[in-house]
Amino acid sequence: AIGVLGNQGYVDDSSIRTLPGVRETIHVSKPYKMVSKDFHPKPTIVDVSGVKFGDGETPVVIAGPCSIETEEQMMAAAEQVKAGGAKMLRGGAFKPRTGPHSFQGLGVEGLKYLQQAGKASGLPVVTEVMRIEQLEVICQHADMLQVGARNMQNFDLLKEVGKTGHPVLLKRGMSATIEEFLAAAEYIVAEGNNNVVLCERGIRTFEKTTRNTLDLSVVPLISEMSHLPIIVDPSHATGKRSLVTAMSKAALVVGAHGLMIEVHPDPTKALCDGAQSLTGDGFAELMDDICGLLSYLGYSE
C-alpha cells in the first residue's frame, strides 16, 4: 500500500503501473489515511506519563468527576479513584454545557486543583479543551487533552491540538459516523501527533430513557480499521449510574483499551452529571467486578 498525502486531486499512477510485477493499481480515497490500518498495520500504544493504552496493555481506567468544583472535592475524588484502582484522573475545568446558565467550570483555577490532586494521588490527569486559546495553559497542567463530543469536528481546534504533541483523548461526536470520527482523528495525526486515544461515549438515537445509546460495535470495528486505541465512556453513554458497571464490563469484553468513569464524592451535590456519577464506594465495587473479568480475559492486573 502506498499512502499519498496532500494531493489536490487524482494521482497520476503511470510511474507505478508500468513497474515490473504491477498488474493493476487500485485507488483508495478515504478521508483518513494516517489513522488507517491499511497504512500502519501495527497497533499504536499511547503513553500518557507512563500509563499505556493499546493492544496487549491492561485496559486503563480513567475516573473522576465531570467538573472540578472545589479543591476539597477534587482531592477527595482523586483519593477515592486511586483507592479503587484507577490509573488516571479526570475532571473538567472548561465545561461545554448545553445551556449558558449551567455551571461552566472553574477555568484555570480548576486546572490547578486538578494538577494538585493528580500529583497527590500519583495519577496522570486528563481535562477537556474547548478553545485554541486554552491549549497553552492546559498543556502546562494536564498530561492529556480531551476533545469532547461537541468539538469533534472543530477542525481548527483539532489541528492545534495536533501541533502540541500532547496525548489526546478524542471523543466521538454524538451524531458522528465512524468515518467522520476517524477523519477527525486524522486531523490530529496529520499534524505529526500519533498519541490519540479514541473514545466511544454513546450516540444520539430515538431512545430517551438513556442519555445516549452506547454503540459498542465501534470498538471491534475501529480495531479492524485503525491502529489507534479506543476506550469507552459508559457514564455519558447511559446517563444512569445503575447502568455503568454492566456497560463497563460489556466494553471490556468487546476489547476496549480502557474506560472513562465519572465518580463524585457526593453525586447528589454534583454541579454536573450527578445522575451518572458513581460514589467512591460505587466505584470500588465496579473495580472489584472488573478485576475478576480482567483476569478472565487474560490480563495480569
Which residues contact Mn ion by CB under 5 A? Answer: 66, 273
Nearer to ligand PEP, 244 or 294 (CB): 244
For the chain, the first-to-last Cα distance in angstroms comes to 38
CA distance linking residue 230 with residue 66, whole number of Å: 20
How many C-beta atoms surround the C-beta of residue 22 within 10 A?
10
Strands 144-147 vs 168-171: parallel, antiparallel or unpaired: parallel
Nearer to ligand PEP, 82 or 201 (CB): 201
Nearer to Mn ion, 160 or 273 (CB): 273
Q: Which residue's Cβ lies closest to ligand PEP?
A: 148
Burial track 78-114 (b if 16+ CB lie within 10 A, e otherwise): bebbbebbbbbbbbbbbbeeeeeeeebbbeeebbbbb
Interaction between residue 171 and ligand PEP (CB under 6 A): yes
Nearer to ligand PEP, 36 or 67 (CB): 67
Smallest gap, in angstroms, from Cβ of residue 15 to ligand PEP? 45
CA distance linking residue 276 with residue 286, whole number of Å: 14
Nearer to ligand PEP, 54 or 92 (CB): 92
- Give the DSSP per-residue string, 109-150: HHHHHHHHHHHHHT--EEEE--SGGGHHHHHHH-SEEEE-GG
> By CB under 6 A, which span of 38-46, 50-58, 144-152, 175-183 interacts with ligand PEP?
144-152
CA distance linking residue 109 with residue 100, whole number of Å: 20
Smallest gap, in angstroms, from Cβ of residue 95 to ligand PEP? 7
- Binding residue for ligand PEP, selected from 54, 148, 162, 282, defined by CB under 6 A: 148
Interaction between residue 66 and ligand PEP (CB under 6 A): yes
Across-strand partners of 62? 88, 260
Smallest gap, in angstroms, from Cβ of residue 63 to ligand PEP? 11
Total residues contacting ligand PEP by CB under 6 A comes to: 9
Place of cell 499505556: 52
Q: Which residue's Cβ lies closest to Mn ion?
A: 66
Interaction between residue 237 and ligand PEP (CB under 6 A): no
Name the E strands within 32-116. Answer: 46-48, 51-53, 60-64, 88-90
Per-residue mark of binding to ligand PEP, 72-111 (x: CB under 6 A)? --------------------x---x---------------
Do the Cβ atoms of 48 and 260 come closer than 8 Å?
Answer: no
Restricted to residues 174-213, the positions that interact with ligand PEP (CB under 6 A) are 201
Do the Cβ atoms of 295 and 271 come closer than 8 Å?
Answer: no
Smallest gap, in angstroms, from Cβ of residue 172 to Mn ion? 15
Restricted to residues 245-284, the positions that interact with ligand PEP (CB under 6 A) are none
Interaction between residue 236 and ligand PEP (CB under 6 A): yes
Interaction between residue 149 and ligand PEP (CB under 6 A): yes
Q: Which chain residues interact with ligand PEP by CB under 6 A?
A: 66, 92, 96, 148-150, 171, 201, 236
